[in-house]
Amino acid sequence: MTDKKRILIGVTGSVDITLLPSCLKTIKSRIDCQLTVIMTPQATSFIAPETLRLFADRVIAGDRPVDWPTDKPSKIVDDHDVLAVMPATANTLAAVAQGSAPNRLTTVILAANFPVIFFPVMGAVMWKKPAVVRNVEQIRADGYEVIEPVWHENYDAALQKIVGHPSLPDNETIVKILQERLKRQVLMTGQAG
């Protein structure tokens, strides 16, 4: 047995995925952990799994049946202590709020018996839509954690102007959140045993 924490990062298709390599690098440098990334099919169109393999111990991408002996959702759950979904898109939040499992990541979320933390990233208008607000409320009511996004201003080439949008917190904040949830998980499992 190892004392290493087992962190699973769920990655969905968002432009903020470009921030992920730096975040993974910070997690690995601050937490003694086994770091696994699980990507939705949409996420792989934003960044190659091979790129993320440079920063994680393992990357699970795609839903090929040949991979199920090692990548079956129940096995993935059994091999981890916490799941952080970042970036979490409106599409993924909607699926989770409805109890839907359109891909391996959402199936793992449904099967999880440990803390699942969502870090939403989407357009500002989307974040404020009643449907997204309802989905976030439902996810929280179901016992998951949704971290309030940090607002960043970036230049939008398509709009040719600076726009604000909900984004990921800085890497140090993400690390602190993961450390706190892992500590809480140890306390809970210690009390249960």
Predicted local confidence at residue 1, as pLDDT:
45
> Does residue 178 register a pLDDT over 70?
yes
Per residue in 62-92, pLDDT tens?
Answer: 777 777 777 889 999 999 999 999 999 999 9
> Does residue 193 register a pLDDT over 70?
no
* Confidence band for 189, pLDDT divided at 50, 70 and 90: low
Q: Pairing state of beta strands 161-167 and 150-156?
A: antiparallel
> Does residue 10 register a pLDDT over 60?
yes
Per residue in 99-140, pLDDT tens?
Answer: 999 999 999 999 999 999 999 999 889 999 999 999 999 999
- Kindly report the CATH number assigned to the domain that includes residue 110: 3.40.50.1950
Please give the tally of structural domains in the chain: 1
Query: Mean of the per-residue pLDDT values for the chain?
Result: 91
Higher pLDDT, 131 or 183: 131
pTM of the model: 0.91
Identify any residues that bridge with 35 across adjacent strands, giving them in sequence order. Answer: 7
| C-alpha–C-alpha distance, residues 154 and 115, integer Å | 31
Per residue in 54-64, pLDDT tens?
Answer: 999 999 997 77
Region 174-193 average pLDDT: 80
Contact assessment for residue 46 and residue 17, using Cβ atoms and an 8 Å cutoff: yes
CA-nearest of 40, 20, 18 to 28 is: 20
Predicted local confidence at residue 156, as pLDDT:
75
CA-nearest of 30, 141, 126, 46 to 86 is: 46
Domain that holds residue 101: 5-192
